[in-house]
Structure 1
């Protein structure tokens, strides 16, 4: 079972790393990086690689 404190720490670190990438490499494909990171985090949290890829590539729901 995933420790929620460790999981939150990993998620926060990943977000900071993504922000650092965007700030220091503005030419990087930010959508691709965010999608790849989402897949990796979902897999780390227990989804299979295929489930993580499917979920990360779904469109976001429309704002209410």
Structure 2
């Protein structure tokens, strides 16, 4: 059975198989475009910034490795 997904970048159908080293992307180009968008903070994972800042104050940098 073959499973197909849409490339998150260009929405081209892509077979989900081990041989496709760029999955879920259709190509290295689409993969790099997506990576660039994350690096430019065009994508984000929703969170609670005030809670995250509050919790990070509890982290002791001396014990984090």
Q: Please give the range of the TM-score, normalised by the shorter of the 2 chains.
A: under 0.3
Larger Rg: 2
**Structure-1-length-normalised TM-score:** 0.25
User: Which structure has the highest helix share of the two?
Assistant: 1
**Higher RCO, Cα 8 Å, sep 6+:** 1
